[in-house]
Amino acid sequence: MAAVKKNLVIILLSFAISRLILTEELTVDPTLTEILHVGLEGEVKLEASELEAVSLDFGRLSSKGEALAVVRPASADDVVRVVKAAYNRPPFAVSARGHGHSINGQADTRMKGVVIEMGRGSRVNFLPRVYENEMYVDVWGGELWIHVLKATLEYGLAPMSWTDYLYLSVGGTLSNAGISGQTFNHGPQISNVFELDVVTGKGEVLTCSEHHNSDLFHAVLGGLAQFGIITRARIALQPAPQRVRWIRILYSDFSTFSKDQEFLISLHGKPARQRFDYVEGFVIVDDGLVNNWRSSFFSSSNPVKISSINAEGGVLYCLEITKNYHQGNDDSADEEIQALLKKLNFIETSLFTTDVGYVDFLDRVHKAEVKLRYKGLWDVAHPWLNLFVPKSRIEDFDKGVFKGILGNKTSGPILIYPMNKNKWDHRSSAVTPDEEVFYLVAFLRSAVDAETLEYLSNQNRQILRFCHDSKIKVKQYLPHYTTLEEWKDHFGDKWTQFNAMKMQFDPQRILATGQRIFDFEPSTVISKDDM
């Protein structure tokens, strides 16, 4: 009966479009007709409001998407049907959208096509399936990490590696890398995946892993959604702690700060009692953010001023670290923390500690989101810039950017923390600097008006220009470029393989056109010169 009703809806929609053509002399793209006749179990949305909604993302920096329809799938089969329809000539673009948390319209369609809402709005009934003995969980590609966490915790388990914000889709973070303060120890999220189901640009469903269809497996991980749409991911699990001792300490000298961070991530091979479980940091360039930092962690009484700490160059650096433990093991956790802190050279009077539940710590950014939404400060432009900076040039970056370009106006947090390259699988599509240790520097700013947006965007351009002129070989994380030459430079030695995988798994170049990597007509053949 459901199938009959669905077919009836399709017929009625097709009839309505035909009437529009006859009565209003409108030109309707054949893409719509193609979509309406593929027999979807889910929903097809054609309303202007729906199309406008998928043209905006978290960055709010681009609204140039050309979506003709929004599909809310009821299953992986729906994804297959849409991609197969798109692959048939004349081809049209297909973009998978998770939580819409991209910055520069990466989930848009840059040529007329369809957006598949894999997360919010999808009709998929695929709850996380935890395999307790095997220590992994199978999840829908559009599932949010917060839901994965809650499902696995029912078995006392949790994924190993996280992002700082849990309201992101699994497919979205795996298409980039998925990083946070656990990356130094467990690697990025793409290093903690056992298996994927992927709908390629040909509309084929392929299960891939380290040992089966491995070329697709490694290409998709960090592949910016260029080779297929992840419909299922098998994520590695570990026993979950119950509590987190959360510590923040300050530094006035960057060299000391970076050496301590690098020392802490060098302990990644040690037993858990001899290392911290999370290592991040951030930069503070004005008094206001010092107090925001403290009030978000403790009471805002007894405010701190940069001037009172004699910060070098007017900049402070905060090291953020955690120790996981189980209820009842407080004393041993304290002993382990004290032993590690004795090896660090922070400002002793700046030590602040709190104790929270494991979920409370992992979901900390969402609490800030709730506050910002209440103040109307969440749905604003976010001109973010995320860079991987090689360790050998991080002090030059500090002098030129933190103590130079930024001035004292940041408009949001600036994260900085190091990672170990040997925790990244070089076979993935993700790109990092060619040094064993490199830093993430993330400028996570917000612009409440056009003037601030222009100021911060110009500042981002200055930072990139400084790196170029100073020959600091940074790599963008969540990259955004507008020309093929820039993308070739970004991928470097990986470009040949990346392009070959595109030709093999998405020869019509219909997937993820919002990334603007292969931003030309789908009928154009990629020349050997581009390989």
Residue by residue, DSSP assigns 104-118 as SSTTS-SSSEEEEES
Distance CA 68, CA 45 (A): 9
Tokens (6 digits) for 526: 């990629």
Q: Which of 43, 280, 320, 506 is catalytic?
A: 280
Distance CA 473, CA 364 (A): 32
Distance CA 465, CA 431 (A): 20
Instruction: Report the DSSP beta bridge partners of residue 317.
Output: 251, 283
Distance CA 76, CA 126 (A): 10
Report how far apart, in Å, the C-alpha atoms of 149 and of each of 240, 352, 363 are: 10, 27, 10
Q: Is 101 a catalytic residue?
A: yes
Contact 407, 363 (CB under 8 A): no
> Among 433, 426, 428, 421, which Cα is nearest to 498's?
428
What backbone torsions phi and psi does residue 308 show, to the nearest 5 degrees? -75, -20
SS3 category, 206: strand
What backbone torsions phi and psi does residue 116 show, to the nearest 5 degrees? -100, 115
Tokens (6 digits) for 331: 């004393």
Contact 316, 346 (CB under 8 A): no
Q: Which of 99, 101, 186, 218 is catalytic?
A: 101
Q: Is 366 a catalytic residue?
A: no
Contact 119, 57 (CB under 8 A): no
Read off the DSSP letter of residue 528. G
Residues 383-399 as b/e (b if ≥16 CB within 10 A, e otherwise) read bbbbbbbbbebbebbbe
What backbone torsions phi and psi does residue 229 show, to the nearest 5 degrees? -105, 125
| Catalytic residue numbers, as ranges | 101, 164, 280
